[in-house]
Amino acid sequence: MPFSVELYFDQTSEAQLNAVAEAVGPKFHLEGSLPHISLAVFETVDHTKFKERLSDFAKNLEPFEIHIASVGTFPGDEGVVFFAPVVDLKLLTTHSTFHQEFNDLLSQKWAYYEPGRWVPHISIGYGLSELEIDNAIKVCRSSNSFGTKNVARIGLLEFNPARKKYCFDFGG
């Protein structure tokens, strides 16, 4: 099963984003998953070194803000609807630094999450039909989830089904 390294939000931001995902429909959200921005997805990981290194990485990060500016969908038949943050220097630096520091521990990485190809997003629905995509976009557009959200944690998730392996608060 694949793994994902995810940035998680503070409780207030998480609650707002969860409410939108629930309004779209609980069956369309990955079960066991929290609202997040994935930094990397890969098939295998060396757990003996990864957990300690991720903990150290988190200690060196401070909570930061992102600004959700739009809602979108990806082409293809996966039926994904997402919120898109403004891609700023802090988000790009966090992503690229993660890949530089962890490249030796990850294998069979999914190319869409590599630096230069990454589209940061917060999935709200997955596996949606065309009609459900239209409805999900309407739900997102009318929500109060646009604007500033606070990123406060990082963790490793195994999926599908989603199982959080471990999570670390920023700054220790």
The tens digit of pLDDT for each residue in 97-135 reads 999 999 998 889 899 999 999 999 999 998 899 999 999
The predicted model scores a pTM of: 0.93
Of residues 153, 155, 156, the one with CA closest to residue 171 = 153
Q: Is 159 exposed, middle or buried (0-12, 13-18, 19+ CB in 10 A)?
A: middle
Q: What are the φ/ψ torsions at residue 118 (nearest 5 degrees)?
A: -70, 135
User: How high does pLDDT run on average in the chain?
Assistant: 92
Task: Please calculate the CA angle 100-106-112 and round it to the nearest 5 degrees.
Answer: 75
Report the percentage of the chain scoring pLDDT > 70.
Answer: 95
The total number of structural domains in the chain stands at 1
Terminal-residue alpha carbon distance, the chain:
29
For residue 74, give the amino acid letter. Answer: F
Q: Dihedral of CA 17/29/158/83: which sign?
A: negative
Q: What is the CATH number of the domain that holds 161?
A: 3.90.1140.10
Residue 30 is part of which domain span?
3-169
Q: Which residues of 96-132 are buried (b: 16+ CB within 10 A; e: fewer)?
A: eebbeebeebbeebeeebeeeebebbbbbbbebeeeb
24 vs 54, 79, 84, 131, 134, CA distance in Å?
32, 12, 16, 12, 10
The pLDDT score that the predictor gives to residue 172 is 58
Question: How far apart (Å, rounded) are the C-alpha atoms in residues 29 and 43?
Answer: 21
What's the pLDDT score for residue 162? 74
Segment 26-54, tens digit of pLDDT: 755 656 678 999 999 999 888 889 999 99
Top mean-pLDDT range of 16-25, 32-41, 59-68, 121-130: 59-68
Backbone φ and ψ of 81, nearest 5°: -120, 135
**Helical (H) or strand (E) element with 149:** strand 147-158
Residue 148 DSSP code: E
